[in-house]
Amino acid sequence: MHIESGSIWLDFAPELAEEILRLAADSASEQERRAYVEEREAISGIEIVDIREDAFRSFDARWIDRFGILERIRTSILDEIPISGCSLHRVRTREEERSHIASVRGQRVLRIYAMVPTLLSRPALRTLLRGVE
């Protein structure tokens, strides 16, 4: 999933976006959680695969923004590191967590490998980014 926010872009693996959203929904207000679940269920009922997948991409981007996840990641990154984009990857253990800058098509891109809860926590994300310039 590719999301643009101002001058930065973020890439999420689809399964990472889904997992982040499930965790965010679990800690959201009852009303917000219900709206999230109802919209997700309505999209799940779409029979035409291409239309359903397009709807899920749009849904994921909208709810990542609505839950404040995108802003949390964006400000944590932009406050610290001048980059053009960021790709987020899921790892299974804290020992695998890392981040580094790569050059991709002439752009400085931050690659973050993190457990999903880390991405929901600004202090943990800042710790993960420590040392990346």
- Contact indicator for 87, 36 with CB cutoff of 8 Å: no
Q: Are strands 85-90 and 8-12 parallel, antiparallel or unpaired?
A: parallel
Per residue in 69-116, pLDDT (tens digit) is 777 777 777 667 778 888 888 888 888 888 888 887 788 888 888 887
100 vs 35 pLDDT, higher one: 35
- Quote the pLDDT of residue 32: 95
pTM above 0.85, yes or no: no
